[in-house]
């Protein structure tokens, strides 16, 4: 017979497998991963790992809530999906505009907007600390 302790251990292994099974399914096609450390926020991670705010949120939408207030130290995030991983980024500064960003990076506004679907059409909702994909390559998010 199993002792209560053994049953507890078995239950914990099952829960752990379920949790990490979910993560590995999500990250099976992952180009880059990152392990959360103390003090991280989504935009801090985005800035230091060259991943856009939009891409980080979208790729991890199953485990990170939209407000990004449920990060756990030690949690493994996928930073980008193979073939859809923009790794050329720019952190929005105070006073920035899409015009300043496209001038500085030399990319068309249409590319900036396509690669950052969270920016509204008049570009009035960018904020300091937000991380934008500023690659000249157009990424087809959500189409594969
Ligand atoms: C992020 O990009 C900058 C500028 O290209 C580069 O210097 C830095 O090494 C990159 N960091 C990572 C983690 O890839
Ligand atoms: C950025 O992504 C390209 C492929 O899109 C890859 O060749 C390159 O090594 C990546 N650079 C970094 C610093 O991850």
Tell me the pLDDT tens digit for each residue of 29-66: 999 999 999 999 999 999 999 999 999 999 999 999 99
Give residue 44 CA to ligand 1 midpoint distance, Å.
Answer: 14
For residue 4, pLDDT beyond 50: no
Distance 84 CA to ligand 1 centre (A): 18
Cβ of residue 50 lying under 6 Å from some atom of ligand 1: yes
| Ligand closest to CA 135 | 2
- Is 50 exceeded by the pLDDT of residue 75? yes
CB 104 within 8 A of CB 88: no
Closest CA to 81 of 132, 23, 29: 29
- Please report where in the chains the tokens 């904020």 appear, as a residue: 127
> From residue 106, how far is each of 15, 109, 120, 123 by CA, in Å?
49, 9, 20, 17
Give residue 79 CA to ligand 1 midpoint distance, Å.
Answer: 14
Give the residue from 130, 20, 125 showing the smallest Cα distance to 68: 130
Mean pLDDT over the full length of the chain: 86
Q: Residue 135: CB within 6 Å of ligand 1?
A: no
Name the token pair of 61. Answer: 């939408």
- pTM for this one? 0.82
Mutate which of 87, 115, 138, 141 for ligand 2? The one with the most ligand atoms within 8 Å of its CB, which is 87
Ordered structural domains, the chain, with CATH: 4-81 (3.10.350.10), 89-133 (3.10.350.10)
End-to-end, the C-alpha distance of the chain in Å comes to 49
């Amino acid at each position: 017979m199993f002792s209560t302790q053994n049953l507890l251990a078995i239950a914990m292994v099952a829960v752990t497998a379920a949790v990490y099974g979910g993560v590995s399914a999500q990250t099976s096609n992952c180009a880059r991963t990152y392990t959360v450390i103390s003090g991280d926020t989504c935009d801090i991670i985005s800035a230091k790992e060259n991943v856009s705010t939009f891409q980080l949120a979208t790729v991890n939408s199953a485990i990170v809530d939209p407000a990004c207030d449920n990060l756990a130290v030690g949690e493994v995030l996928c930073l980008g999906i193979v073939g859809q991983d923009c790794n050329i980024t720019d952190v929005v500064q105070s006073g920035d505009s899409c015009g300043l960003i496209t001038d500085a990076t030399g990319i068309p506004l249409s590319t900036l907007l396509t690669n950052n679907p969270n920016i509204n059409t008049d570009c009035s909702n960018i904020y300091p600390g937000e991380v934008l994909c500023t690659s000249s390559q157009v990424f087809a998010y959500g189409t594969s």
